[in-house]
A and B are shown apart, each in its own frame.
Chain A
Amino acid sequence: MPTFAHFFETLLESYPVFFEGLWLTIRVTFVSVLIAVFIGLFFALFKISQSKILNWIANVYIAVIRGTPLIVQIFIFYFGLTEFNIPKFWAASIGLALHNGAYIAEIFRGSIQSIDKGQMEAGRSLGMSHTLAMRRIILPQAFRRALPPLGNQFIIGLKDSSLAAFIALPELFSVATTQGARTFDEMTYLLIVAVYYLVLVLIFTLLVNLLEKRLSASD
């Protein structure tokens, strides 16, 4: 075990190399979760649609994604689909986006279905089409309700992005293993990277809480 002094010293000294990895981790996470939110919204709407075909497509997507490991999905995009020559950043981002999309689809489906049926009826009774009422009345309320589980999913996505180290994307975790191997001081660097993830998650949790508070002003 490293001494606390050694750990602290290394933490302070190593920040230039960690910050590069940190920036990459943040970019992969935001890009993949943003895409995942759109994927999730579409598949949630497929799932609650009247169309059996759309239901089926959504069910298959969710079953396949949830039933297979994320690392396999990322490897398929990077090592599997070699003919497409997908860059590491995008292989990781797309893999994470498709993965989180399946979970976010279920989050959105639940939150949409949790909105009182009277809301849709009120919209329809005013002459709104189903689509318009969905867009103007249901989805804004559903999104608000989805925020806590979405924040949770974002945190999972942030931590899962460490799997991109296995396709040699130089993100946070990859920096820690590289530095550890170089110095034979693995434990110190693993503890440092753990601190980075923990601080990121705490900051993000705080931001989600603030957002929730602002949005719930009308509840």
Chain B
Amino acid sequence: MVEKAEMIRVEKLNKSFGDLHVLKDIDLEVNESDVVVLIGASGSGKSTLLRCMNFLEIKNSGNVIIEGETIDPQKNDLNKVRQRVGMVFQHFNLFPHKSVLENVIEAPLMVKKIKRSEAEKEGKELLAKVGLGDKANVYPNKLSGGQKQRVAIARALAMKPDIMLFDEPTSALDPELVGEVLSTMKELAKEGMTMVVVTHEMGFAREVGDWVVYMHDGKVVEKGHPSELFSEPKEQRTQDFLSSIL
């Protein structure tokens, strides 16, 4: 087997909000083209861990290493780092004052400063890819939740990131709209995108995940291939969690 490049490494990561110790000595690595799924109960720290990976939250101690580079939030230009690490949010966070296409091309235009014609061409291709080629000039308020989230995925992809982070991308969706977002994510995984996904969709974790990480109370309890972790979890707490949700 070919050795895969390391995309993200988290070492001894600690994060507190005031007195609340949310992440406790987290170690985790994500290799190229891996789909790593973070599961666990609410409040287990999985979203915070994800947000530490693109520095929307700044760790208290430990290291976050992106593509071999240890990122120091004081010294590194985080705006540059974030261009390599795309993020999709639970509540989409589309820009309501901009059309769908403008949402997608905003960062390429303003941050990468590429030409408008080129940005629009790439933006339209991305929208076609997520199945929304006909919605380019529509405003987000005219879209369903599933469509909004697919636009948000296209918007993140427009910066050509090396890594994509998904923070509960389907949790705010009506049940019948979950499938379209998951299948867009599946396609992305198939193309070899490195992905870290916080989700409660165990079907997705089982089918698409290369690794599943179970978190509890700010710690990584168990990490394994989905086939192993779901069928024969080693830890009692993992068993309890899985039996409570499956």
Known: A127-B107, A219-B96. A121 touches B89 (CB 8 A): yes
Pairwise interchain contact B91-A218, C-beta atoms closer than 8 A: no
**Chain A residues within an 8 Å CB radius of B106:** 126, 136-137
Chain A interface (Cβ < 8 Å from any Cβ of B): 116, 118-119, 121-129, 132, 136-137, 140-141, 144, 217-219
Q: What are the nearest 5 A-B pairs in CB distance?
A: A126-B107, A122-B93, A127-B83, A118-B93, A125-B87
Known: A124-B56, A140-B97. A132 touches B82 (CB 8 A): no
Pairwise interchain contact A136-B89, C-beta atoms closer than 8 A: no
**Residues of B in contact, count (CB < 8 Å):** 28
**Chain A residues within an 8 Å CB radius of B111:** 126-128, 132
Pick the contact of A122 from B80, B85, B95, B141 — CB < 8 Å?
A: B95
**Chain B residues within an 8 Å CB radius of A121:** 56, 89, 93
Known: A132-B110, A218-B139. A141 touches B97 (CB 8 A): yes
B48 located at the interface, meaning its Cβ lies under 8 Å from any Cβ of chain A in the complex? no
Chain B interface (Cβ < 8 Å from any Cβ of A): 54, 56, 79-80, 82-83, 85-87, 89, 91, 93-97, 106-107, 110-112, 139-141, 152, 155-156, 159
Closest Cβ–Cβ distance, residue B143 to chain A (whole Å): 12
B81 to A, closest residue via Cβ: A127
Pairwise interchain contact B139-A125, C-beta atoms closer than 8 A: no
Pairwise interchain contact A125-B97, C-beta atoms closer than 8 A: no
Pairwise interchain contact B95-A125, C-beta atoms closer than 8 A: no
Pairwise interchain contact A119-B159, C-beta atoms closer than 8 A: no
Pairwise interchain contact B95-A127, C-beta atoms closer than 8 A: no
**Chain B residues within an 8 Å CB radius of A144:** 97
A144 to B91, CA, bound (A): 21
Closest Cβ–Cβ distance, residue B6 to chain A (whole Å): 22
Pairwise interchain contact B82-A124, C-beta atoms closer than 8 A: yes
Pairwise interchain contact B156-A126, C-beta atoms closer than 8 A: yes
Pairwise interchain contact A218-B79, C-beta atoms closer than 8 A: no
A33 to B103, CA, bound (A): 32
Pairwise interchain contact B89-A118, C-beta atoms closer than 8 A: yes
Pick the contact of B156 from A124, A125, A132, A136 — CB < 8 Å?
A: A125
Pairwise interchain contact B54-A125, C-beta atoms closer than 8 A: yes
**Chain A residues within an 8 Å CB radius of B159:** 126-127
A118 to B168, CA, bound (A): 14
Closest Cβ–Cβ distance, residue B96 to chain A (whole Å): 6
Pairwise interchain contact B107-A128, C-beta atoms closer than 8 A: yes
A128 to B111, CA, bound (A): 6
